Structure formats: C-alpha cells, structure tokens
Amino acid sequence: MTTPALLLLGHQARSYAAMIKDYAERLGVAVVVLSSKPRDVRDLEQLAALGVARLWHVDDEHLDESHVAPVLTQASAEGFTIIAALATFEGYRVLMALTNQRIGAIDADPLALKKCMDKFLCRQCLSERGLSRSTATVLDAQTLPLLRMSGRKLFVKPRRGAGSFACFRLDDTLTIDRLQALQMQMRDDLAFRAIFAGQFDFIAEDYVLGDEYSLEVLVVGGASHVIGVHAKYLDDSSGTTLETSNSLPAPRLSDEQQLAGERFIDECLSALRLREGCYHIEARHDPRDGHWDIIEINARMGGALINQSVGVFTGGLSMLELWVRTLCSVSDESRLALRGQLGALRESTRRRDKSMEHGTVFFSRYGERNRTLEKLSIEQLMPQPDIAEMPVREGTRLPDSERGIFILNALWKVRIPDIANQLQALSTMLDEKLVVQYSDAAASAANPTAKEKP
C-alpha cells in the first residue's frame, strides 16, 4: 500500500513548508520536499526539523526538470504516490505545472502560464480582447527615445517581474545604460534570478489609472473564485513602487464595484485560458467610469501577509490552505465539494449575505539595499500585531538590488467598519515605535523607504 503525498518544490529551503505540511496532513496527505541549495544552511536545518515524510535537496541554486524526474522515480520506489506538485515560489510555477502534467495531476496548462507570466504577451492578449486600455512595448535602443517623446503616460517594468523590482513611471532619466544596469542586477540576484527565467527585457505600457487592488483568486474547473480584494497603499520614493500597507476588504469599493471586479477577472482568466490554479492579480478600478484594468497577473498566492490576511478574513482558511485543497482534491466528489466551498467563500457572496465581520490591515517595511541589518525589533509596538514576519535575520547583508527587500510584515485583525481609522493610527504607531538599526548607520525609528502614510 502506498502513501499519497504532495511534492513541494522548495526554493532554497524557504517555501512555506511548515504551513503546507499542516494543511496536507489534515487531508490525510503526506508532504515530501525537493529543495534547491539554501543560501543559509540554517534554513535547510529548519526544514529537516519539520519532520516531512521525505526530503531531497540538490546542490544547485534553482530547480529544473532534471532534478524532478529522479525524485519522482525515487518517491515511487519508496512507497509514495505523488498526487500533485506544489511550488509557492514564482520561479518554479511552470515547473510545477509541467510536473503535474507529467504525473496526470490537475493544474493550469504550462503554456498558458508562460503567456500569463510574460507581462508583454499577457498585456497583448488582454488588449486584443478589449479587456485592457493599456498597450505595451518592449524597450530597446530604438523604442525608448520614441516613447519618451510620445507624450504618453507610461509605466516601466520587467517583462518578467519579481519583488516589485524596478517598476516606475517613464521619464527622461531612463536611458539604455540604466536599463542595462538594471538587467545586470536581475542576472546577479541569486534569490530571485529564477523568476526572470532568462528573460531580462523591460516593457513600457500605458499607465493604468485608478485605485489599486489585489484580487486573491482560486480557479477550479474553469470557474474563478475571488476570495478577497485587498486595497493597496503605495510608495514610490525608493526607485521602485512598493506596497507599504494593505487592507481587506477594501473600504472604497461598493458591493457593486467589487462584484464587477470579480466578473472582470473571470473574463481575463478565460481569455488567457487559465482554468486551474491560484492567482494574485493586481488591478486598478477607475471610480470615474467604473472601469477595471489589469496591472499584472501573478500565477501564485500573494506575498507579504496576503495569505494570512485571507485566513483571518475567511475565519481560518488561508489562500495557501485553499490552494493545497484544490491540488489534493482528486476525486469528482471532492472537487464538487471544493467548488461549493469556494463559492461560499467568494467575497461577493459574503458581501451579499452580510457575513463579513472582521478584516485586516497589514504593513510592510523594506530594508536598505546593500546594508547589514543589525537590529530589528517590534517590542515597542502597542498593540502588538496579531501576525508578524521578519524574513531577514539580524546580521544579514541585504542584496544590492532595486527590488523590495522585506524586513517586516505586520498584521492586525480589525472590525471592518474600523479599517480606515486603523490604517492611519497603526501606520503612525509603526513609524514611531519600530526599531531598525544597521551596523553601518545610526538607529532608525522607521524604514526610510516607507515615508508615505496610507
């Protein structure tokens, strides 16, 4: 008799393994892990200490199909039946889909994912189908000067993105030399290089107007389910555009506007032929005419505390747990039950039924590039956050990169009517009480890259 197992494709031993093990074991499914080489050996030690059913690791920075094939063979020989593969790291999302295709598990089509994750091709597809007002152009020595002289309001981003790396409005300061310097950063980023998948182009696209949101979506059998819509509050003072805070639900969206957003997302995913999977979709809603438009579609759950925020909002079911359930629900009966559960969890359904009571506000703080973090303390925060993540250990030298480098994510559970007031009050308290020190600088009361209040 074999043991049903979920194969986690772990990036450098840091891929939510503890959560995934808990969620899968609730379903009677074991977790086996294949990890790339950790940057810090302590991460691998912590992964091994979790007690997953089996752990393989390779001496390469990134996983590919050559690593997966022998593991599938070994897992079978050792009595495991791999029912699905899961990768929370965006750089392995296509590898996850290829693995699931290989073993006959239900997942998004790998070719559709590649198109979705290519921001140029994704924008082209949506524009051609009338789902986006924005059009995109690949930047090079010929197109850059023409676009600068066009008078259009344009936004620059990598064709394949990671961690809000180098996303900014186009102006006369952007030169080919600067583009090439950014591309060199992408090639040199050991933690995120796999996300770029060898694609280092930049694109410029028409600036999408409106208030920004992220929609957390699960797709099963071609039906999309928007579990929650986060309002996003941004800062662009640090060379890129960073999210400093989020709230769920979004205070500015009416029930009708939120429902229109869900329907719009369903159209976009259908156009891209994304019939399965978990998606973190960034979009904007223009309150002047009610138009929704896509910023980008990420074929994964959201970063920072998006996952846990959804868990608070639903009363216990995070995006990651729901994603694990979609992968482990293999029988017709279990998939039918899953679709019923997801339908009930749609934000529009809960708005209609008036079953929402608590939401969240959470804040992200970012480190200073190429600096060594000496101390990070939340002890003075009052009230203490309900959930806090500090993903960088003290003593770590931060990457020399223009992407957002998380050093703190902190979340508070709040009553939905109190969200707007709590955003301001908690942000002020965080700026005053968070302790951030670098070994080569004086103590800082707050991260200098997070200057704007929501």
Question: pLDDT at position 401, please?
Answer: 72
pTM: 0.89
Q: How far apart are the first and last CA of the chain?
A: 55
Structure tokens at 353: 């039924």
Residues with Cβ within 8 Å of 1's Cβ and at least 6 positions away in sequence, in order, are 79
d(CA 323, CA 133): 31
CATH 1.20.200.10 assigned to domain 3-105? The reply is no
> Rounded to an integer, what distance in angstroms lies between the CA atom of residue 286 and that of residue 116?
23
Residue type, 132: S
Residues 6+ apart with CB under 8 A from 438: 368, 371, 372, 373, 374, 444
Q: Where are the domains of the chain?
A: 3-105, 135-206, 209-358, 361-438
The topology (CATH level 3) of 209-358 is: D-amino Acid Aminotransferase; Chain A, domain 1 (3.30.470)
Tens of pLDDT along the chain (454 residues)? 899 999 999 999 988 999 999 999 999 999 999 999 998 899 999 999 999 999 999 999 899 999 999 999 999 999 999 999 999 999 999 999 999 999 999 999 999 999 999 999 999 999 999 999 999 999 999 999 999 999 999 999 999 876 566 788 999 889 999 988 888 887 776 666 666 667 788 999 999 999 999 999 999 999 999 999 999 987 755 455 566 899 999 999 999 999 999 999 999 999 999 999 999 999 999 999 999 999 999 999 998 899 999 999 999 999 999 999 999 999 999 999 999 999 999 999 999 999 999 999 999 998 898 899 999 999 999 999 999 999 888 888 998 776 778 899 999 999 999 999 999 999 999 999 999 999 975 333 333 333 332 2
Of 72, 67, 79, 51, residue with least CA distance to 7? 72
Q: How far apart are CA 148 and CA 293, in angstroms?
A: 23
Q: What would the pLDDT profile of 177-226 be if each residue is shown by its tens digit?
A: 998 888 888 777 666 666 666 778 899 999 999 999 999 999 999 999 99
CA distances from 229 to 221, 248, 376 (A): 21, 6, 30
- Please tell me the class of the 135-206 domain: alpha beta
Distance of CA 33 to the CA centre of its chain: 21
Q: Where are the beta strands (DSSP E) in 207-273?
A: 211-220, 223-235, 242-248
Alpha helix stretches (DSSP H) within 109-220:
110-117, 119-128, 143-149, 176-188, 193-196
What's the pLDDT score for residue 406?
84
Measured between alpha carbons, how far is 199 from 130 in angstroms, rounded to an integer? 27
Q: Is 231 helix (H, G, I), strand (E, B) or coil?
A: strand
